[in-house]
């Protein structure tokens, strides 16, 4: 421990420093786990769960049951990074005992890696069988917590460790120390016995080439080829991913197939945000199904959906730079977009990028952005609950009249005419 920490105000000083740097709750506990200091003094508390422990007691149980193994050369315990079942992140460091200090713990948190939406909070309450009447109190609690992404959180752990010990620590060392996985429990002889049984009875998993062929058709947007490959896939070669439930096993297989299909679609040129959104949609749908035939049908529909989207969105004629720009424009269409920002993303001179993009697409970058915003506006006009003025504002058109002028340029109709026509067709 650093010499100045041997002074009486050393630990409080570090606590104040960390609080001011991250605006996150910092708690100092003595060797008997009694609170010596909390900054700030008043914070929104986690809603009480009947018959359960409070957050602090829960975290201290983690500390007691997860003593980090140290090599004989190590002088100090390493920080413990912990995430609770309610997605709170906490960071703990046990203070080394020496002549001036009897030990103790510094606790940072709780914090969140990302904001918790109302839908997420409701599903967490459902997971833990808590009444939905508590939703508002949980939302208030979540909104009171600071949000630090994982890498910033890890660096807070490194800073705390260095302030306490004066020693350097890498992110890798931190993660290796915090990752204490429980070993998988295998009944009997586990996978070795299962492997022997499969080989003896020629009950083998599928040839990886069959899988590769199926997802190659998705990457090329070939739905017919995909269906042929899928029909040739031997049902008996699928693995068993749940021993307790055939339905759960089927759902797990479907989720893994959709994950591979997502990667194949991205490799085939589909914008990754579209691919991931499709993946989320289909997996959520499959999770709600109640029987195996419905899961099989939903998986077939999902794989065909990926192939169709790749077919409709092939970008094979574009260079890597052109595809990168198009993907960035798609993901950030609701933000201000500039040639200078795209040049920065592509790592090219703005003038050269402008020439390259127009050569590949036939459009100036500004015209391409304008066209894509109108395509997005067309999709939004078909949705209920959003006005035309809101669409214009969200897509960064200066005013309603300019939006109408540009919309008519690309569609031949005003936004109002387009919405009315679509409404009549529905």
The torsion region of residue 219 among left (phi > 0), alpha (psi -120 to 50) and beta comes to alpha
φ and ψ at residue 253, rounded to 5 degrees:
-65, -40
Q: Are residues 230 and 249 in the same domain?
A: yes
Confidence at residue 198, expressed as pLDDT on a 0 to 100 scale: 45
Are 105 and 92 spatial neighbours (Cβ–Cβ below 8 Å)?
Answer: yes
Query: Is residue 185 in some structural domain?
Result: no
Cα–Cα distance between 194 and 421 in angstroms, integer?
A: 61
Q: In this predicted structure, what is the pLDDT of residue 361?
A: 84
What's residue 68's pLDDT? 43
Q: Same structural domain for residues 157 and 199? A: no
Res. 199: pLDDT tops 50: no
CATH of the domain at 376: 1.10.10.60
Helical H runs in 268-364?
272-287, 292-312, 320-331, 339-346, 350-361
pLDDT at residue number 197: 45
CA distance 321 to 361: 12
pLDDT band for position 325 (cuts 50, 70, 90):
confident
Asked whether residue 301 falls in the same domain as residue 343, the answer is: no
Tokens 């009447």 belong to: 133
Query: Do residues 84 and 55 lie in contact, with contact meaning Cβ atoms separated by under 8 Å?
Result: yes
Query: Of 312, 334, 360, which closes a domain?
Result: 312
368 and 386, same domain (yes or no): yes
Mean pLDDT along residues 340-354: 90
The answer on 204 and 164 residing in a single domain is: no
pLDDT beyond 80 at 43 = no
172 and 119 share one domain? yes
Q: Is the pLDDT of residue 333 over 50?
A: yes
Is residue 139, in this structure, part of any structural domain at all?
yes
First-last CA distance in the chain:
71
Say how many C-beta atoms besides its own lie within 10 A of residue 105's C-beta: 20
Residue 60 falls inside a structural domain: yes
Note whether 15 and 163 are same-domain residues: yes
Residue 186 lies in a domain: no
Q: Note whether 29 and 140 are same-domain residues.
A: yes
Provide mean pLDDT across the span 309-338: 80
Question: Which residues sit opposite 94 in a β-bridge?
Answer: 105
Percent of the chain beyond pLDDT 90? Answer: 24
255 part of a folded domain: yes
**Hey, what are 126's tokens?**
């459902």
Question: Scanning the structure block, which residue is given the tokens 């574009």?
Answer: 318
Are 168 and 106 within one domain? yes
Paired residues of 49 in beta bridges:
none
d(CA 366, CA 355): 12
* pLDDT band at residue 377 using 50, 70 and 90 as cut-offs: very high
Q: Span 16-36, mean pLDDT? A: 88
pLDDT-based confidence at residue 129 (cuts at 50, 70, 90): confident
Which residues constitute the domain of residue 385? Answer: 320-425
Determine, yes or no, domain membership for 168.
yes
Per-residue pLDDT, 63: 65
Last residue of a domain, one of 247, 279, 312: 312
Helix (H) or strand (E) holding 39: strand 35-39
Q: Please give the average per-residue pLDDT across 271-289, as a whole number.
A: 89
What's the total number of domains in the chain? 3
Q: Are residues 209 and 157 in the same domain?
A: no
- Across 26-35, 230-239, 280-289, 362-371, least confident range: 230-239
CB atoms within 10 A of CB 308: 15
The pLDDT of residue 193 is 52
333/330 Cα distance (integer angstroms):
5
Q: Does 221 share its domain with 287? A: yes
Give residue 179's pLDDT. Answer: 53
Tokens of 232: 């040739």
% of the chain beyond a pLDDT of 70: 78
- At 268 the three-state DSSP class reads coil
Q: Are residues 274 and 141 in the same domain?
A: no
Measured between alpha carbons, how far is 265 from 262 in angstroms, rounded to an integer? Answer: 5
Q: Which residues pair with 106 in a beta bridge?
A: 28, 93
Residues 6+ away with beta carbon under 8 Å from 186? none
- Least confident residue range of 122-136, 233-247, 271-285, 316-330: 233-247
pLDDT at residue 99 in the model: 56
Domain stop point among 178, 206, 221 = 178
At a CB cut-off of 8 Å and minimum separation 6, what does 63 contact? 80, 92, 94, 105
The string of pLDDT tens digits covering residues 142-186 is 998 999 988 888 899 999 999 888 888 888 888 766 654 444 444
- Per the rule left: phi > 0, alpha: psi between -120 and 50, beta: everything else, 205 is beta
Question: Is the pLDDT confidence value at 335 over 80?
Answer: yes
pLDDT at 196: 53
Please check whether residue 233 lies inside any domain of the structure: yes
Q: Does residue 112 sit in helix, strand or coil? A: strand
Query: b vs e for 374-408, b when ≥16 Cβ sit within 10 Å of the residue's Cβ?
Result: bebbbebbeeeeeebeebbeebebeeeeebbebbe
Quick one: pLDDT at residue 71?
39
- Which of 82-86, 89-93, 376-380 comes out lowest in average pLDDT? 82-86
Instruction: Note the Cα 402 to chain centre separation in Å.
Output: 37
Segments in 69-222 forming alpha helices (H): 118-127, 135-144, 150-165, 171-178, 191-200, 208-219
In this structure, the number of other CB atoms found within 10 A of the CB of residue 226 comes to 26
Nearest-Å Rg of the Cα atoms of the chain is: 28
């Amino acid at each position: 421990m650093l010499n100045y920490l041997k002074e009486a105000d050393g630990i409080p000083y570090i606590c104040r420093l960390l609080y001011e740097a991250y605006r996150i709750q910092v708690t100092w506990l003595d060797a008997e786990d009694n609170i010596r200091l909390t900054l700030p003094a008043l914070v929104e508390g986690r809603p009480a769960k009947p018959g359960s422990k409070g957050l602090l007691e829960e975290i201290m149980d983690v500390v007691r049951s997860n003593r980090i193994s140290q090599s004989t050369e190590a002088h100090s315990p390493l920080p413990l990074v912990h995430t609770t079942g309610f997605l709170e992140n906490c960071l703990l460091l046990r203070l080394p005992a020496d002549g001036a200090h009897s030990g103790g713990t510094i606790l940072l948190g709780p914090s969140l890696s990302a904001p918790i939406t109302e839908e997420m909070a409701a599903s967490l309450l459902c997971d833990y069988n808590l009444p939905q009447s508590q939703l508002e109190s949980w939302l208030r609690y979540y909104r009171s917590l600071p949000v630090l992404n994982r890498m910033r959180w890890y660096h807070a752990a490194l800073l705390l460790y260095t302030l306490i010990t004066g020693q350097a620590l890498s992110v890798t060392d931190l993660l290796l120390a915090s990752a204490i996985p429980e070993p998988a429990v295998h009944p009997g002889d586990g996978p070795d016995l299962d492997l022997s049984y499969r080989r003896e009875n020629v009950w083998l998993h599928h040839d990886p080439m069959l899988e590769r062929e199926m997802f190659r058709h998705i990457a090329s947007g070939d739905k017919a080829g995909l269906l042929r490959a899928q029909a040739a896939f031997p049902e008996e070669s699928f693995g068993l991913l749940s021993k307790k439930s055939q339905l759960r096993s089927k759902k797990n297989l479907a989720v893994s197939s959709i994950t591979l299909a997502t990667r194949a679609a991205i490799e085939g040129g589909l914008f990754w945000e579209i691919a991931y959104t499709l993946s989320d949609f289909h997996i959520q749908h499959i999770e709600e199904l109640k029987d195996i035939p419905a899961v099989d049908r939903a998986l077939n529909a999902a794989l065909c959906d990926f192939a169709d989207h790749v077919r409709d969105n092939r970008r094979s004629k574009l260079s890597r730079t052109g595809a990168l720009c198009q993907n960035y424009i798609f993901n950030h269409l609701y933000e201000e977009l500039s040639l200078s920002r795209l040049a920065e993303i592509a790592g090219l001179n703005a003038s050269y990028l402008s020439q390259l993009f127009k050569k590949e697409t036939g459009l100036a970058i500004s015209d391409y952005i304008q066209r894509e915003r109108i395509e997005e506006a067309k999709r939004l006009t078909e949705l209920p609950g959003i006005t035309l003025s809101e669409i214009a504002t969200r897509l960064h058109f200066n005013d309603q009249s300019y939006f109408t002028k540009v919309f008519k340029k690309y569609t031949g109709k005003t936004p109002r005419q387009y919405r009315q026509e679509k409404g009549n067709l529905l």
